[in-house]
């Protein structure tokens, strides 16, 4: 069997391997480099040859060139496809992105967007998800900014200062983690690509050098031809090269391949066989392109058309001169039909985007109109807030708008919502100020109730309690978050007093009545007591009276006010003695503790007293710390400065009070 027969069989097998794609995935419209048809007559030119199309231009008469000027739009279509294929040559994995469904990211929640990003990064090839990640990232940023604005408004409504606002979301952290993983994987992918691209370029330049050497080889033409076919196969199987080297490398390869065909004219059978093989395959490509021109799935047709152009250019060589213009015009005509349909498709999408824009502008106008209305009550503003919230949701669900107005539309929307929130905040700040003032008034009533709930002077205290209950009803609303809490606190203090009052009235015994009468007599005696002027004797006399008072026992609960009168009488007596204030205070306090320790509730009384003393100790310590901190602000000031002296005196007084309180606390603990 001859070499020619073997070549014919090999070519016949290749006829059945024409890869025609048919998928339903999204479109790749990227473009970078310009590549041309391979149909033209081979000519020997310089190493960096111009494109075959340009070579064909030289051979055409002037009238044909004029005709091509009229069809420049057709050539623009071809250029767009060729540029897109040149870009994909640098990273063939990009084509795989078309197999990943594009979801309605604008209708997803923040959590759903984060989950979708995680799935893409984990399950898909990183080079295939770029457009998906960009869309998801844009949607997430838009929606999170809206959430941030909302949280900020709530913060300001609650009385916060704008400079102190901070908001962090677990969903945001989750999204950032996934996006960082995507960026890291993408960087690793590009590093790997760069390494492979350089090696592939070196391999292709080596093929070109071998191709150039075929012209000087002295061997059987069939053997040389077979070597040429092997170089073609190696060229096709070598991976992508850097994008900026793509055209030069391909043009150089094409130039030397055509030189080989010129050289091959010595054996026209081999060249004609190759021309026939290329013509058959290009006719199949044309037939498929004409089928795609009738397909209603426009984007799928255009994607497959890109692949057909790539095969036409990179996998097939020239055909006989008499067929070149005819098949190229036919292929170009089918290409134009498909591209025209694609342009119409985009026009329809543009119409949808324009309609979405109209809807969004109407929504913005409605928000602005609501913001312009006056609201004078809480209920009216609540109604407005619900209306604006519904319009915000409508805005987010209205779909995409033309990209050229996307940012300006979003800015107008934010401005309209911000203007509404500003008026709303102004109203609620005024309302909040009033409610805060009401809160302070009610807290003052609570303090009065709690301070007097244990009072034994029932005649005075009962009237006071009734009055503050009446005042409470006259005070207006307080902030909702405080309403229930302060009402329960006020009610508990009032109930405590009146329950105790009723219990005391019902539980008073004759013994307690007698004790009250005895204490009343002793109090009268004490008031008439004359002191000698001798400190020690007078102190002993007062202590004797105090012990006598203790020994009398308890009085009815509604008569316990006599204890206050007794203490006031003691104050008058002690004032005539030259004693330390703290010493006098402790004598009186011991009497108070004895009173607290008597009766059925002595343990609870002592617990309450201990808690009270501890609280006062903490307060005094805090005041001392504050005063000492204040001293640090007096730099380069003498100690005799009046302000500094005042602070030092205050610290000294508070420390004396602290010492007294600690002594009292030790006395309370000793009672257990």
Q: For 173-209, what is each residue's pLDDT tens digit?
A: 999 998 998 899 888 888 888 888 888 888 889 988 8
pLDDT at 22 (0 to 100): 32
Q: Of the given ranges (3-7, 287-291, 442-446, 462-466), which has the lowest mean pLDDT?
A: 3-7
pLDDT digits (tens, 9 = 90+) for 576-589: 777 777 777 787 77
Token output for 587: 């004598």
54 or 410, greater pLDDT: 410
Q: Mapping DSSP to helix (H, G, I), strand (E, B) and coil, where does residue 12 land?
A: helix
268 pLDDT more than 90: no
Confidence of residue 261 (pLDDT cuts 50, 70, 90): confident
Q: How is 231-295 classified by DSSP, letter by letter? A: HHHHHHHS----HHHHHHHHHHHHHHHHHHHHHGGGGHHHHHHHHHHHHHHHHHHHHHHHHHHT-
586: nearest Cα among 531, 506, 668, 655: 668
373 pLDDT more than 50: yes
Cα dist. 668→19, 617, 654 in Å? 98, 14, 21
Q: Mapping DSSP to helix (H, G, I), strand (E, B) and coil, where does residue 654 land?
A: helix
Cβ-based neighbour number of residue 148 at 10 Å: 14
99: nearest Cα among 120, 113, 117, 118: 120
Q: Of the given ranges (125-134, 140-149, 156-165, 315-324), which has the lowest mean pLDDT?
A: 156-165
pTM of the model: 0.40
83 or 167, greater pLDDT: 167
661 pLDDT more than 50: yes
Cβ-based neighbour number of residue 629 at 10 Å: 9
529: nearest Cα among 548, 553, 545: 545
Cα dist. 501→179, 487, 556 in Å? 69, 21, 11
85 or 384, greater pLDDT: 384
Q: Of the given ranges (418-422, 431-435, 518-522, 541-545), which has the lowest mean pLDDT?
A: 431-435
Token output for 522: 């002793």
Confidence of residue 243 (pLDDT cuts 50, 70, 90): confident
Q: How is 25-75 classified by DSSP, letter by letter? A: -------------S-SPP----SSPPPHHHHHHHHS-HHHHHHHHHTHHHH
How far is CA 552 from its chain centroid? 73
Confidence of residue 441 (pLDDT cuts 50, 70, 90): very high
358 or 63, greater pLDDT: 358
pLDDT at 176 (0 to 100): 92
Cβ-based neighbour number of residue 638 at 10 Å: 8
Nearest 5 degrees, angle CA 627-CA 631-CA 633?
125
What is the average pLDDT across 502-512? 72
């Amino acid at each position: 069997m001859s070499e020619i027969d073997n070549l014919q069989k090999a070519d016949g097998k290749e006829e059945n391997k024409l890869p025609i794609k048919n998928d339903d995935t999204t479109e790749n419209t990227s473009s970078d480099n310009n590549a041309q048809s391979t149909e033209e007559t081979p000519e020997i030119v310089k190493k960096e040859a111009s494109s075959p199309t340009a070579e064909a231009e030289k051979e055409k008469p002037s009238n044909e060139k004029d005709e091509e000027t009229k069809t420049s739009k057709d050539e623009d279509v071809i250029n767009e496809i060729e540029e897109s294929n040149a870009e994909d040559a640098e990273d063939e994995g990009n084509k795989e992105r078309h197999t990943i469904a594009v979801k309605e990211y604008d209708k997803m929640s923040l959590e759903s967007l984060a989950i979708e990003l995680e799935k893409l990064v984990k399950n898909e090839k990183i080079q295939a998800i770029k457009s998906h990640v960009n869309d998801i990232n844009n949607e997430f940023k838009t929606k999170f900014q809206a959430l941030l604005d909302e949280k900020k408004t709530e913060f300001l409504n609650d009385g916060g200062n704008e400079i102190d606002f901070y908001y962090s979301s677990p969903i945001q952290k989750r999204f950032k983690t996934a996006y960082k993983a995507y960026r890291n994987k993408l960087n690793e992918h590009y590093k790997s690509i760069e390494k492979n691209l350089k090696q592939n370029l070196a391999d292709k330049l080596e093929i070109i050098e071998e191709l150039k050497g075929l012209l000087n080889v002295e061997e059987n033409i069939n053997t040389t031809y077979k070597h040429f076919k092997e170089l073609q196969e190696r060229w096709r199987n070598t991976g992508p090269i850097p994008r900026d080297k793509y055209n030069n490398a391909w043009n150089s390869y094409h130039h030397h391949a055509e030189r080989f065909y010129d050289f091959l004219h010595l054996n026209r059978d081999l060249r004609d066989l190759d021309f026939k093989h290329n013509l058959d395959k290009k006719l199949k490509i044309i037939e498929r392109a004409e089928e795609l021109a009738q397909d209603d799935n426009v984007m799928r047709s255009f994607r497959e058309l890109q692949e057909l152009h790539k095969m036409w250019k990179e996998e097939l060589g020239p055909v006989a001169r008499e067929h070149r213009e005819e098949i190229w015009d036919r292929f170009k005509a089918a290409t134009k039909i498909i591209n025209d349909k694609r342009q119409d498709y985009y026009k329809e999408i543009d119409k949808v985007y324009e309609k979405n824009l109209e809807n969004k502008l109407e929504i913005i106008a409605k928000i602005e109109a609501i913001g312009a209305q006056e609201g004078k009550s809480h209920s009216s503003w609540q109604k407005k807030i619900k209306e604006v919230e519904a319009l915000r949701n409508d805005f987010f669900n209205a779909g995409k708008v033309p990209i050229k107005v996307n940012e300006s539309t979003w800015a107008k929307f934010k401005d309209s919502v911000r203007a509404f929130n500003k008026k709303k905040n102004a109203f609620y700040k005024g309302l909040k100020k009033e409610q805060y003032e009401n809160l302070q008034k009610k807290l003052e009533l609570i303090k009065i109730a709690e301070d007097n709930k244990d009072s034994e002077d029932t005649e005075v205290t009962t009237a006071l309690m009734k009055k503050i209950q009446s005042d409470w009803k006259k005070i207006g609303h307080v902030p909702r978050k405080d309403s229930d809490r302060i009402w329960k606190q006020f009610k508990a203090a009032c109930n405590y007093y009146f329950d105790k009052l009723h219990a005391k009235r019902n539980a008073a015994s004759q013994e307690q009545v007698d004790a009250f009468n005895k204490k009343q007599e002793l109090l009268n005696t004490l008031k008439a007591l004359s002191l000698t002027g001798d400190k020690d004797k007078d102190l002993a006399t007062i202590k004797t009276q105090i012990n006598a008072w203790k020994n009398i026992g308890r009085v009815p609960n509604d008569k316990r006010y006599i204890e206050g009168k007794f203490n006031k009488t003691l104050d008058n007596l002690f004032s005539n003695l030259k004693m330390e204030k703290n010493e006098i205070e402790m004598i009186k306090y011991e009497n108070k503790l004895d009173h607290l320790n008597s009766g059925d509730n002595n343990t609870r009384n002592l617990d309450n007293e201990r808690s009270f003393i501890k609280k006062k100790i903490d307060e005094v310590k805090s005041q001392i710390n504050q005063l000492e901190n204040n001293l640090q602000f007096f730099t380069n000031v003498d100690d005799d400065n009046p302000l500094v002296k005042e602070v030092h005196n205050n610290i000294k007084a508070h420390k004396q009070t602290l010492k007294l309180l600690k002594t009292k606390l030790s006395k309370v603990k000793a009672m257990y």
